[in-house]
Amino acid sequence: MARASRARSWSDMLTTNGCVLLAREHRKALQGPMDSLTPFPEKAILAESLPEEHGMARDTEPADLNADVQRRWDTNAEWWDEQFGEGNAFQRVLIGPATERLLALKPGEQVLDIACGNGAFSRRMAELGAEVTAFDFSPRFIARARSRTTTNADRIRYLVVDATNEAALLTLGSREFDAAVCSMAFMDMSNIEPLLAALTQLLRPGGRLVFSVLHPCFNNSHGTTLMLEEEDREGTLVETLSVKVRKYISSTTALGVGIAGQPVPQVYFHRPISALYNACFRAGLVLDGIEEPVFGDGDSARHPLGWANFKEIPPVLVSRMRLPAR
């Protein structure tokens, strides 16, 4: 499920050389019909500078960090489920359709849904005829997923499994799966390498992994700002939307809020595209499909800097990796 939302505030309006500039940075969530639940975390604070009163100590050990991430998601699970339901605008318009195209499911295929959240996409895949094994490390999310599954329940098996625990993942079965999906969850994982290593054992030869993330270049919580410029061009006011990129190449960790009002902030793990893809390549997977979906002409956001107003800049990245046939 899509687990992150764009959340920014207006900066002061600036006027330079006849150009009015508006910008939103990562501070306050703004929601509307196409803005609510849209991926972009707020309050981006580097983990290495977090004081302990925020709930995550400066020198957090990897195991402790993963436990903290799990605790936060379990705390937020029921609230998130109520807000997300069967999918938000990003899921319905961008992530879901792109994932379905790259996944190219066939009825009867065995599919693994990684970090399934409340199971919205698990139910969609079951509707398309797949046999789904869905898991999340939040027991509360899995409870909500089970309670929401009223049709095709015989095609979905829900489990509590930690995606960063390779040994636990391998208990799901050797060469059992034709495909795996991970929707908007890599940026919630402290370490993706155990999952990728396990997938080379879980997937059948030729099996595929389709994953989606906030676009690391244009929609990362630690280094981008949405911009709106209004310029007077010989008596005509012209508006231009753009994204200012301040930081990209470093992998960073931050606390953030996916949906304004959630009980506790979550932890985001930004990785540049090279880090994401190279981790897959090291595990033995190859890239053979990619989409960068954008909102269409018929989509619009009430807020001027809502992502649905950006027609040429993709807020998410969807990729297909494949395990080579033996």
Domains annotated for the chain, with CATH where assigned, are 9-322 (3.40.50.150)
Over the Cα atoms of the chain, what is R_g? 20
Type of residue found at 151: T
Q: For residue 146, give every residue at least 6 positions away whose Cβ sits within 8 Å of its Cβ, in sequence order, or none.
A: 119, 158
Structure tokens belonging to residue 196: 């990728």
Residue-level pLDDT at 77: 84
Do residues 201 and 175 make contact, with C-beta atoms less than 8 angstroms apart?
A: yes
Query: Residue 69: CB partners within 8 Å, gap ≥ 6?
Result: 188, 189, 190, 266, 267
Which residue do the tokens 């893809």 mark?
Answer: 277
Residue in the block written with tokens 């599919």: 111
3-state secondary structure string across 191-207: CCHHHHHHHHHHEEEEE
What pLDDT shows up at residue 324?
96
Burial of 302 (0-12, 13-18, 19+ CB in 10 A): middle
Please state whether beta strands 110-114 and 177-183 pair in parallel, antiparallel, or not at all (unpaired): parallel
Rounded Cα distance between 73 and 190, Å, is 13
Q: Rounded CA gap, 269 and 131, in Å?
A: 30
Phi, psi of 82 (to 5 degrees): -65, -35
- Return the axis-axis angle of helices 120-127 and 96-103, rounded to nearest 10°: 50
Half-sphere exposure of 252 (CA within 13 A, CB side): 19
From first to last of its 326 residues, what are the pLDDT tens digits of the chain? Answer: 444 333 333 343 444 444 455 655 543 332 333 343 333 332 333 333 333 333 444 456 677 898 999 999 999 888 888 777 777 778 889 999 999 999 999 999 999 999 999 999 999 999 999 999 999 999 999 999 999 999 999 999 999 999 999 999 999 999 999 999 999 999 999 999 999 999 999 999 999 999 999 999 999 878 899 999 998 888 999 999 999 999 999 999 988 887 778 899 989 999 999 999 999 999 999 999 999 999 999 999 888 999 999 999 999 999 999 999 97
311: left (phi over 0), alpha (psi -120 to 50) or beta: alpha
pLDDT of residue 39: 36
Pairing mode of beta strands 252-257, 266-270: antiparallel
**For position 88, what pLDDT does the model report?**
76
Q: Write down the pLDDT at residue 11.
A: 40
Q: Which two tokens stand for residue 266?
A: 């979550």
Query: Which is nearest to 151 in space by CA: 138, 132, 171?
Result: 132
* 283 vs 297: CA distance, rounded Å: 39
Amino acid letter at 23? Answer: A
User: Contact, 192 vs 69, CB < 8 A?
Assistant: no
Distances (CA, A) of 266 to 135, 139, 148: 19, 17, 24
